[in-house]
Chain A
Amino acid sequence: MPAGHGLRSRTRDLFSRPFRKKGYIPLSTYLRTYKIGDYVDVKVNGAVHKGMPHKFYHGRTGRVWNITKRAIGVEVNKQVGNRIIRKRIHVRVEHVQPSRCTEEFKLRKIKNDQLKAEAKAKGEVISTKRQPEGPKPGFMVEGAMLETVTPIPYDVVNDLKGGY
Chain B
Amino acid sequence: MPYVKAQKSKAYFKRYQVKFKRRREGKTDYRARNRLINQDKNKYNTPKYRLVARFTNKDIVAQIIHASISGDIVLAAAYAHELPRYGLEVGLTNYAAAYCVGLLLARRTLKQLEMDAEYEGNVEATGEDFTVEPAETRRPFRALLDVGLIRTTTGNRVFGVLKGALDGGIDIPHSDKRFAGFNKDSKQLDPEVHRKYIYGGHVAAYMRNLMEDEPEKYQSHFSEYIKRSIEPDTIEGMYKKVHAAIRASPEAKKSEKAPTKEHKRYNLKKLSYEERKAKLIDRLKALNSAAGVDNDSDEDD
Task: Give residues in A with beta carbon < 8 Å to B.
Answer: 20-24, 26-28, 30-35, 67-72, 93
Identify which of B33-41, B96-104, B126-134, B241-249 touches chain A.
B33-41
* 9 A-B residue pairs with CB within 8 Å: A20-B16, A23-B17, A27-B33, A27-B37, A28-B69, A30-B39, A31-B67, A67-B42, A93-B41
Say whether, besides A31-B67, A31-B69, A24 and B41 are in contact (CB < 8 Å). no
Whether the Cβ atoms of A69 and B41 lie closer than 8 Å is: yes
B45 interface hit (Cβ, 8 Å): yes
Whether the Cβ atoms of B41 and A71 lie closer than 8 Å is: yes
Task: Give complex CA distance A89, B19 in Å.
Answer: 33
Say which residue of A21, A27, A28, A33 sits within 8 Å of B41 (CB atoms): A33
Rank and list the top 4 A-B pairs by shortest CB-CB distance, nearest first. Answer: A20-B17, A69-B40, A30-B38, A28-B69
B40: nearest residue on chain A (CB-CB)? A69
Task: Give complex CA distance A141, B129 in Å.
Answer: 90
Q: How many B residues face the partner with a CB closer than 8 A?
A: 20
Task: Give complex CA distance A31, B48 in Å.
Answer: 11
Task: Give complex CA distance A93, B42 in Å.
Answer: 12
B14: nearest residue on chain A (CB-CB)? A20
Where chain B touches its partner, the secondary structure class is loop
Minimal beta-carbon separation of A25 from chain B (angstroms) = 9
A64: nearest residue on chain B (CB-CB)? B41
Where chain A touches its partner, the secondary structure class is loop
Q: Give the chain A neighbours of B69 by CB distance below 8 A.
A: 28, 31-32
Task: Give residues in B with beta carbon < 8 Å to A.
Answer: 15-17, 19-20, 23, 30, 33-34, 37-42, 44-45, 67-69
Whether the Cβ atoms of A68 and B44 lie closer than 8 Å is: no
B46: nearest residue on chain A (CB-CB)? A33
Task: Give complex CA distance A123, B13 in Å.
Answer: 65
Whether the Cβ atoms of B67 and A20 lie closer than 8 Å is: no
Task: Give complex CA distance A96, B42 in Å.
Answer: 15
**Further 14 A-B residue pairs, CB within 8 A, beyond A20-B16, A72-B41:** A27-B37, A27-B67, A28-B69, A30-B34, A30-B37, A30-B39, A31-B39, A31-B67, A33-B41, A33-B45, A35-B44, A67-B41, A67-B42, A71-B41
Minimal beta-carbon separation of A24 from chain B (angstroms) = 5
Task: Give complex CA distance A141, B30 in Å.
Answer: 64
Minimal beta-carbon separation of B32 from chain A (angstroms) = 11
Task: Give complex CA distance A141, B284 in Å.
Answer: 33
Task: Give complex CA distance A20, B42 in Å.
Answer: 33
Task: Give complex CA distance A32, B38 in Å.
Answer: 10
Q: Give the chain B neighbours of A22 by CB distance below 8 A.
A: 17
Whether the Cβ atoms of B41 and A70 lie closer than 8 Å is: yes
Say which residue of A27, A35, A68 sits within 8 Å of B34 (CB atoms): A27
A69: nearest residue on chain B (CB-CB)? B40
B67: nearest residue on chain A (CB-CB)? A31
Q: Give the chain B neighbours of A71 by CB distance below 8 A.
A: 41
Task: Give complex CA distance A27, B38 in Å.
Answer: 8
Whether the Cβ atoms of A33 and B42 lie closer than 8 Å is: no
Q: Give the chain B neighbours of A28 by CB distance below 8 A.
A: 69
